[in-house]
Amino acid sequence: METCASDKIEALVLDVSFRNEENGFTVLQVRLDDGRRVAAVGVMPELAGGERVALTGEWSEHPQYGRQIRVTLCEAHAPTTLSGIERYLGSGLLRGVGPATARQIVERFGEDTLDILQYAPERLREISGIGAKRARRIAESFAEQHQMREAMVYLQGYGLSPALSMKIFKCYGARVQSVIRENPYRLVEDIPGVGFKTADRIAAALGIAPDAPERLRAGVCYALSEAMASGGHTYLPREVILWQAAKLLGAAEEAVQAALDALLLDQALIAREVDEHVAVYLPGAYRAETETARRLLGLMEALPYQSAPDLPERLTVWEQRTGITLNDGQRRAVRAAVTEGVTVVTGGPGTGKTTIIRCILSLLDEQDEVLLAAPTGRAAKRMTEATGREACTLHRLLEYGGEEGAFARNADNPIEADVLIVDEMSMVDIYLMRSLLCALPPCTRLILVGDADQLPSVGAGNVLRDILQSDAVPVVRLQEIYRQDAHSMIVLNAHRINQGEMPCLNSRGGDFFLERCDGAVRAAQTIAELVAARLPPFLGVDALRDIQVLSPMKKGECGVTALNRLLQERMNPRRAGVPERAWGETVFRVGDKVMQTRNDYQMRWRRSAAEWEEEGDGVFNGDMGIVLAIDEEEQTLTVRFDDERECTYEGAQLDDLELAYCVSVHKSQGSEFPAVVMPAVGGPPMLLTRNLFYTAVTRARRAVVLVGREAVVSQMVQNARTAKRYSALAEWLRNAP
């Protein structure tokens, strides 16, 4: 799709081809003043045929629909001709007015029609068939349309995008201008996608002083919430939050300190002593962390140690039946799982964590209801394949409902299970952990399984590591490599990397390779060649489904963005007859590999088979799938995710979808792929870490291929730095709050 320069045009609306009421995405057919008919697409207020509009946007040439303008600003002008007014009123835009009534109104009031609707709607009762109730309904509908248009122009006047403007209007409605004038910083709290700098720009335009108390307070809260979102912290030390907020605000630390003290006094923030410093929390994060500690301790108290004198005999029977001999560490893990209220089993790849889960299932299934769960769809699918028992995502287990963040399963409606086993615990953040524990009855035995040496959760908290460090919960650490994996170079090299040793590369008959090349451009080209042509026949795998490119970084020639474009052009190039959907700087095509990048609790999905169909809400950060269909006329895109859910994306929902031929190592957590390809080129030391390298390698099942220089591999192995993550779950487990 070829894009041209920005332009501003005046046009007459001929027809509304499509409109999404939820997000305002609209496709119009308009006639320009020179008589040409073109399409206009973008987020716009409700419009009707016969209205005149001023549109600002960029021209593009659509391969199927021809010339169109992608609208960034839309200003609607009231129709001026009688035929235009009649067409507008009869378009269906106003409740209670159809074509026949529209004709009657225009015949009665003529050119004064719109003024009557706005200033004297009671006069509509002069028309036969319109009573007081119907007149009021028509007037209210006309006022709503007028308010939406005014709000869109008002918001876009501050440089906000149409999509964001529509989102703000949907939140505040007719109050939008008064809310923003009163406190523009409310936008940061209320509207996803509005950051402090955007609100600050609006505040400056409104004349709010740089040292205004509401600005300083908003800046402190934003600095704390941003630290949680980007750094995974649950709190910040007082001195750190003061420094970060002062930097953000460009204000003196004394003024910021006064704002922080006021927030603490109002209990908008919470301060507690942690590790010899003052920890400053957002209230929600404090409640999540302390309640997680209380509920974990409560589970252990409700189910104290229970002896199992017949366990050795039952284990022997299981070993004889399966032909598997457990090592000492695995036996300790099984014993803890069947005798303790809460148990954590941790270990690297090949140490037999899955074998333990299978053994526990066999032993406990005899008398207990055992459920299996994992944080992501891919991790749950792996758990199902490994155990032969259905596992589900934690969100599905907790029965996510309609409102954002709300689960049907909670303390008042707990999960019905005697035993719950959760895998991939390193991915679970503090909020999900709190929700899970709230939904467990006191008599449920909880078994947590994970690898603490992987990257921590994307969300706030350091749940698995904090539990391990607390010494308050029974823990079994598996260190012996299970004999079936003792010859896998992936497993052996993962352990070598974790211990700061160089991996063995390119051994004969091995599964761990380095494709040597210099320079990021050459490495990117080599990656594309490997994925699209060389590896599929060599490994006997499908290029799209079985090979995953992982990158430590977003930017650069070997970053996620550039590699996605390169791999898309190589594996799914533009072809005649293959539908496309352009959104921002991305062009999606049928057959593309994609990933959801944000939790969307309202997104509808459906899943069906020959004899059943299921529907629900919610797609989540990290869900991966394939573009199944694109409707170019309605501008929708349908994705089938790995767990067979199908979701249809419209308009601004596409902000949360990106290509996934290459994904970041963080985003790959909880997933496993037959083959992993990863660039080993230069980059920031904070990204090229041992921890990240280890996580990437442990995503592969059959082959790891590094592309770049051995010196960079060595650099990653030697770089033991880990980003500091402030969390205090370990403290609350040791000293119950």
Is the residue at 345 inside a domain? yes
Q: Of all helices (H) and strands (E), which one includes residue 386?
A: helix 377-387
> Can you point out the beta strands (E) in 451-590?
475-478, 512-516, 547-551, 580-583, 586-589
CATH code, 96: 2.40.50.140
pLDDT value of residue 65: 63
pTM of the model: 0.81
Q: What is the pLDDT of residues 389-399, one digit of tens each?
A: 999 999 989 98
Q: What angle do CA 679, 681, 683 make, to 5 degrees?
A: 115
Specify the pLDDT at position 445.
94
| pLDDT for the residue numbered 143 | 84
Residue 332: predicted pLDDT: 94
| The pLDDT of residue 484 is above 60 | no
Residue 353 labeled ligand binder: yes
Confidence of residue 675 (pLDDT cuts 50, 70, 90): very high
The answer to the question of residue 294 being in a domain is yes
Q: Is the pLDDT of residue 577 over 90?
A: no
Question: What are the respective helix, strand and coil percentages of the chain, to the nearest 5?
Answer: 40, 25, 35
- Which of 274, 305, 333 corresponds to the end of one domain? 274
Encode pLDDT of 51-81 as tens digits: 888 888 888 877 666 788 988 888 877 777 8
- Residue 353 pLDDT > 70: yes
Which SS3 state, helix, strand or coil, does residue 522 take? helix
In a domain, 61, yes or no: yes
Task: State whether 473 and 543 are in the same domain.
Answer: no
pLDDT (mean) for 216-224? 95
Write the pLDDT tens digit of every residue in 127-140: 888 888 888 888 88
Higher pLDDT, 728 or 36: 728
* pLDDT number for residue 1: 46
- Do 371 and 242 share a structural domain? no
**Do 365 and 454 sit in the same domain of this protein?**
yes
Asked whether residue 164 is domain-assigned, the answer is: no
| High-pLDDT (> 70) share of the chain, % | 96
Q: Per-residue pLDDT tens for 145-194? A: 788 878 877 887 787 877 788 888 888 888 888 999 989 999 988 887 78
For residues 202 and 321, membership in a common domain is answered with no
> Residue 300 has what pLDDT?
92
Over residues 358-385, mean pLDDT: 88
Element holding 412 (H helix, E strand): none
Tell me whether residue 540 is annotated as binding: no
For 312, other C-beta atoms within 10 Å of its C-beta total 11
CB 674 within 8 A of CB 536: no
- Mean pLDDT across the chain, nearest whole number? 89
Please identify, among 449, 483, 517, the residue that sits at the C-terminal boundary of a domain.
483
Poorest-confidence range of 21-25, 215-219, 365-369? 21-25
647 pLDDT more than 80: yes
Encoded tokens for 150: 């005014």
Looking at the structure, tell me whether residues 460 and 540 fall in a common domain: no
pLDDT reading at 402 higher than 80: no
294/265 same-domain check: no
Are 354 and 319 found together in one domain?
Answer: yes
Of residues 400 and 697, more confidence is placed in 697
597 is an annotated ligand-binding site residue: no
DSSP letter at 573 equals -
In this prediction, residue 441 has a pLDDT band, given cuts at 50, 70 and 90, of: very high
Mean pLDDT of 591-620: 86
Residues 489-527: pLDDT tens digits?
A: 999 999 999 999 999 998 777 899 999 999 999 999 999
Q: Which residue has the higher pLDDT, 405 or 352?
A: 352
What is the CB-side half-sphere exposure of residue 430 using CA atoms within 13 A?
29
pLDDT score for 3: 45
Q: Provide the domain limits for residue 265.
A: 180-274
Same domain, 294 and 328: yes
**Is residue 50 a contact partner of residue 85, using CB atoms and an 8 Å limit?**
yes
The reported pLDDT for the residue numbered 696 is 96
With a cut of 60, say whether residue 683 has pLDDT above it. Answer: yes
Question: Would you place residue 5 in the very low, low, confident or very high pLDDT band (cuts 50, 70, 90)?
Answer: low
What pLDDT was estimated at residue 599? 80
Domain tally for the chain? 4
Claim to verify: residue 120 and residue 246 sit in the same structural domain? no
Residues facing residue 66 across a β-bridge: 62
- Residue of higher predicted confidence among 345 and 406: 345
**88/37 same-domain check:** yes
Confidence (pLDDT) at 268? 95
Domain assignment of residue 714, yes or no: yes
- Supply the CATH number for residue 413's domain: 3.40.50.300
Does residue 586 sit within a domain? yes
pLDDT(2) > 50: no
Closest CA to 671 of 543, 530, 548, 495: 548
* 351 known ligand binder: yes
The confidence score (pLDDT) of residue 259 equals: 96
Note the helical H segments in 417-488.
Answer: 430-438, 463-470
Domain limit, last residue, from 432, 457, 483: 483
How far is Cα 324 from Cα 357, in angstroms, rounded to an integer?
Answer: 13
Q: How confident is the model at residue 288 (pLDDT cuts 50, 70, 90)?
A: very high
Domain co-membership, 344 together with 369: yes
- pLDDT given at position 474: 95
For the ranges 199-208, 322-331, 613-622, the lowest mean pLDDT is seen at 613-622
Summary count for the chain: helices (H), strands (E): 27, 28
SS (H, E, C) 180-194: HHHCCCHHHHHCCCC
Please indicate if the annotation marks 197 as binding a ligand.
no
Domain assignment present for residue 603? The answer is yes
Tell me: do 599 and 686 sit in the same domain: yes
Average pLDDT over residues 47-54: 83
Task: Answer for the pair 595, 658: CB distance below 8 angstroms, yes or no.
Answer: yes
- The CATH number of residue 240's host domain is 1.10.10.2220
Q: Are strands 236-237 and 277-281 parallel, antiparallel or unpaired?
A: antiparallel
Is position 605 within any domain? yes
480 three-state secondary structure: coil
Q: How far is CA 694 from CA 247, 348, 452, 716, in A?
A: 34, 10, 11, 9
For the ranges 65-69, 454-458, 541-545, the one whose mean pLDDT is highest: 541-545
Residue 293 in this model has a pLDDT that exceeds 80: yes
List, for residues 75-129, the tens digit of each pLDDT value. Answer: 877 777 888 788 878 877 777 788 888 899 999 999 898 889 888 989 999 988 8
